């Protein structure tokens, strides 16, 4: 891979301030109780609307949330999001409790339990939405397959990133979250990109892993870009090209939302510049910058300067092969 020269970065920074595009994120707002590796408990708002939304704002995109939250969602946190330039549809307010998770962090893994769940998002919530790109990232059952198909069927050059975590999850009687072994009724089309981890890959590919699993998902669902996170190694498949990079180990008290941060950075960069390799580097670089903050919850969202610097470092470390 060639180096990204300083003059290119000047151009990128210039574009950062001149690019006006909208990202729409559809998912539940979440209240998280995060128990970190030291046993300390942090209460934080979270979920893809927060992690993806705040990351997209760092890239200079307008952000619209299609979500649901209850009366128990703190008023000051809503104001915080609005003050960050994140728009929330009026239909988001619900009489149900806000979706709430308890997370116990163990390095890059975590134990997750569902404590409450808000009402589902409906087709009416999509009314009059105009956007350049979507991040569809359910946390648990708030987006139906029918609603996902409604989003893809209305597509007019709108980029769609799917994080299928909420489709692949199951909950036991104690609220403990795990991933299904198989997802046989998963029917999607017109998705541009998908981000999956190892368990989700096995679930969606009928038991396959690694390159075989990624290629099956790519062909079965006609998805342009497959992003696969396997521990600290991050993969990208673009047609018959395979890119990958290993993230160095970074000691951090909390990795919650890291996948959302990566998805949003990739999508934001791709919407603005149309360069999939650079977008891949931005996804990884933003995740690394977040870990380097040593902060928990949404406080770990890094500044654009750190995002750019870490993405540049990753660009020079990306490995590549033709499949």
Query: Does the CA dihedral 259-264-267-269 come out positive or negative?
Result: negative
Higher pLDDT, 75 or 8: 75
Q: 15 is in which domain, residue-wise? A: 6-322
Q: What is the mean pLDDT of residues 123-145?
A: 95
Residue 283 included in any domain: yes
3-state secondary structure of 243: strand
What does 2-30 look like in DSSP terms, one character per residue?
----HHHHHHHHHHHHH---EEEEES--E
- Inform me whether the pLDDT recorded for 13 exceeds 90: no
Residue 293 included in any domain: yes
Rounded CA gap, 23 and 44, in Å?
A: 23
Q: For helices 276-292 and 304-315, what crossing angle results, to 10°? A: 120
- Inform me whether the pLDDT recorded for 103 exceeds 90: no
- Inform me whether the pLDDT recorded for 1 exceeds 60: no
Query: Does the CA dihedral 131-133-136-137 come out positive or negative?
Result: negative
Write out the two tokens for 132: 């350049």
Residue 1 included in any domain: no
Question: What integer pLDDT is reported at residue 155 of this predicted model?
Answer: 64
Question: What integer pLDDT is reported at residue 109 of this predicted model?
Answer: 67
Q: What is the mean pLDDT of residues 116-120?
A: 97
What is the pLDDT confidence band of residue 107, given thresholds at 50, 70 and 90? low
pLDDT digits (tens, 9 = 90+) for 279-304: 999 999 999 999 999 998 899 999 99
Residue 14 included in any domain: yes
- Inform me whether the pLDDT recorded for 18 exceeds 80: no
What is the pLDDT confidence band of residue 157, given thresholds at 50, 70 and 90? confident
Question: Which range, of 17-21, 161-165, 267-271, averages the lowest pLDDT?
Answer: 17-21
- Inform me whether the pLDDT recorded for 168 exceeds 50: yes
Q: Exposed/middle/buried for 304, CB within 10 Å: 0-12, 13-18, 19+?
A: middle
Please state, rounded to an integer, the average pLDDT across all residues of the chain: 91
What does 131-198 look like in DSSP terms, one character per residue?
-SEEEE--SSSSS-HHHHHHHHHT-SS-EEEE-THHHHEEE-TT-BEEE-S--TT----S--EEEEEH
Question: What integer pLDDT is reported at residue 17 of this predicted model?
Answer: 47
Residue 259 included in any domain: yes
Residue 108 included in any domain: yes
Question: What integer pLDDT is reported at residue 3 of this predicted model?
Answer: 53
Question: What is each CA distance from 313 to 245, 286, 293, 306, in whole angstroms?
Answer: 11, 11, 17, 11
Residue 253 included in any domain: yes
Residue 269 included in any domain: yes
Rounded CA gap, 260 and 283, in Å?
A: 10
Query: Does the CA dihedral 156-239-191-219 come out positive or negative?
Result: positive
Question: What integer pLDDT is reported at residue 11 of this predicted model?
Answer: 45
Nearest Cα to 289, choosing from 272, 312, 268? 312
Higher pLDDT, 264 or 40: 264
What is the pLDDT confidence band of residue 121, given thresholds at 50, 70 and 90? very high
What does 102-129 look like in DSSP terms, one character per residue?
EEEEETTEEEEEEEE-PPPP-GGGGTT-
Question: What integer pLDDT is reported at residue 213 of this predicted model?
Answer: 95
Write out the two tokens for 301: 């969202």
Q: What is the mean pLDDT of residues 1-30?
A: 64
This prediction has a pTM of 0.91
What is the pLDDT confidence band of residue 173, given thresholds at 50, 70 and 90? very high
Query: Does the CA dihedral 217-219-221-226 come out positive or negative?
Result: positive
Q: What is the mean pLDDT of residues 133-142?
A: 97
Tell me, rounded to whole angstroms, the distance of Cα 227 from its chain centroid: 11
Vertex 114, ends 113 and 117: CA angle to 5°? 170
- Inform me whether the pLDDT recorded for 93 exceeds 60: yes
Question: What integer pLDDT is reported at residue 36 of this predicted model?
Answer: 78
- Inform me whether the pLDDT recorded for 8 exceeds 50: no
Q: Exposed/middle/buried for 314, CB within 10 Å: 0-12, 13-18, 19+?
A: buried
Higher pLDDT, 232 or 28: 28
3-state secondary structure of 33: strand
What is the count of structural domains for the chain? 1
pLDDT digits (tens, 9 = 90+) for 190-236: 899 999 999 999 999 999 999 999 999 999 999 999 999 998 999 99
Give the domain CATH number at 86: 3.40.1190.20
> Is 136 in contact with 23 (CB distance < 8 Å)?
no
Higher pLDDT, 146 or 38: 146
Write out the two tokens for 104: 């116990």
């Amino acid at each position: 891979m060639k180096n990204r020269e300083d003059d290119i970065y000047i151009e990128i920074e210039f574009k950062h301030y001149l690019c006006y595009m909208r990202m729409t994120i559809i998912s539940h707002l979440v209240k998280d109780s995060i128990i970190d590796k030291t046993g300390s408990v942090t209460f934080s708002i979270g979920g893809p609307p927060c992690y993806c939304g705040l990351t997209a704002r760092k890239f200079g995109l307008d952000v619209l949330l299609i979500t649901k939250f209850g009366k128990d969602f703190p008023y000051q946190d809503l104001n915080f999001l609005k003050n960050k330039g994140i728009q929330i549809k009026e239909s988001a307010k619900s009489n149900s409790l806000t979706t709430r998770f308890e997370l116990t962090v163990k390095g890059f893994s975590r134990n997750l339990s569902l404590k409450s769940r808000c009402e589902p998002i409906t087709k009416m919530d999509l009314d009059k939405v105009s956007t350049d790109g979507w991040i569809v990232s359910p946390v648990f059952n708030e987006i139906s397959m029918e609603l996902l198909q409604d989003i893809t069927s209305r597509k007019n050059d709108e980029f769609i990133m799917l994080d299928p975590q909420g489709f692949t999850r199951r909950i036991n009687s104690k609220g403990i979250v795990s991933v299904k072994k198989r997802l046989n009724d998963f029917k999607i089309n017109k998705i541009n990109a998908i981000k999956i981890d190892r368990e989700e890959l096995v679930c969606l590919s009928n038991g396959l892993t690694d390159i075989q699993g990624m290629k099956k998902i790519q062909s079965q669902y006609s998805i342009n870009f497959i992003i696969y996170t396997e521990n600290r190694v991050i993969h990208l498949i673009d047609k018959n090209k395979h890119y990958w990079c290993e993230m160095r180990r970074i000691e951090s008290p909390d990795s919650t939302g890291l996948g959302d941060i990566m998805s949003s950075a990739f999508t934001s960069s791709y919407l603005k510049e149309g360069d999939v390799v650079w977008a891949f580097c931005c996804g990884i670089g933003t995740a690394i910058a977040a870990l380097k903050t040593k902060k928990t919850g949404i406080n770990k969202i890094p500044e654009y300067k750190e995002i750019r610097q870490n993405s540049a470092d990753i660009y020079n470390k990306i490995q590549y092969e033709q499949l």
